[in-house]
C-alpha cells in the first residue's frame, strides 16, 4: 500500500473541499476527515457552515474535530486516507503557539511522518496571495506564512491541483485524478 500526498489549492468557494472529498472517496480506503475549524469558537453563521460540511461527507467516514495534532492522527489512522480541511485554519491555530520556522518545521515533519505511516494525505488549502494585500502587519505575516506553507507542501506533494470555479487545474503529478 502506497502513501501519497495531494494538495488542493484555491480561493473561497472554489470547490476545494468537494474536490478533495471526491479524491478521498476514489482512494478506496477508510477516510479520516480532519476538520480544522475550532467548533467551540464558531459563531452562528460559521456553525451553519460546519453543519453543511458535516452533512455533505459520507456517514461512514471518521471525522476529527478540535484536534490539531496531525502526526498523532496519522499514527492512529495508518494505512488510511486522511483529508485535512484546511491547512489555513490548521496554521492559524498553531501560529498562536509557535514561531513561523517552528511551525513550518512541524508541518514538514508531519508530512514525512504521514508517508512513514502509509497515510494517503489530502490537504486542502486556501490560496491567499491572489487577493488584496492585508492592511495590517499581522495579516501580511499570516498571508506570507500560508504562502510559504503551501509552497512547502507542494514540493512534497505527488499531486497538486488549483481549484477555480469548481474546476481542477492540474499543477503537478500527471492527469487529474
Q: Which residues are identified as catalytic?
A: 53
How many other β-carbons are positioned within 10 Å of the β-carbon of residue 96?
Answer: 6
From first CA to last CA, the distance across the chain in angstroms is: 18
Count, residues in the chain: 177
Query: Residue 140: enclosing H or E segment and its boundaries?
Result: helix 137-156
Is the CB of residue 168 less than 8 Å from the CB of residue 21? no
Is the CB of residue 93 less than 8 Å from the CB of residue 39? no
46-78 burial string, b = 16+ CB within 10 Å, else e? Answer: eeeeeeebeeebeeeeeebeeebebbebbeebe
How many other β-carbons are positioned within 10 Å of the β-carbon of residue 101?
Answer: 9
Amino acid at each position: 500500500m502506497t502513501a501519497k500526498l495531494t494538495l488542493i489549492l484555491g480561493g473561497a468557494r472554489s470547490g476545494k473541499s468537494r474536490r478533495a472529498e471526491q479524491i478521498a472517496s476514489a482512494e478506496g480506503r477508510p477516510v479520516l476527515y480532519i476538520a480544522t475549524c475550532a467548533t467551540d469558537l464558531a459563531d452562528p453563521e460559521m456553525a451553519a457552515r460546519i453543519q453543511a460540511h458535516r452533512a455533505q461527507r459520507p456517514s461512514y467516514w471518521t471525522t476529527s474535530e478540535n484536534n490539531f495534532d496531525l502526526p498523532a492522527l496519522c499514527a492512529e489512522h495508518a494505512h488510511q486516507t486522511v483529508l485535512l480541511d484546511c491547512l489555513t485554519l490548521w496554521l492559524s491555530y498553531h501560529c498562536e503557539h509557535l514561531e513561523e520556522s517552528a511551525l513550518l518545521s512541524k508541518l514538514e515533519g508531519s508530512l514525512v511522518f504521514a508517508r512513514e505511516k502509509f497515510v494517503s494525505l489530502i490537504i486542502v488549502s486556501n490560496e491567499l496571495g491572489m487577493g488584496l494585500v492585508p492592511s495590517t502587519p499581522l495579516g501580511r505575516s499570516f498571508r506570507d506564512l500560508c504562502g510559504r506553507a503551501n509552497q512547502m507542501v507542494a514540493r512534497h506533494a505527488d499531486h497538486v491541483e488549483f481549484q477555480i470555479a469548481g474546476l481542477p487545474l492540474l499543477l503537478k503529478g500527471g492527469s487529474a485524478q
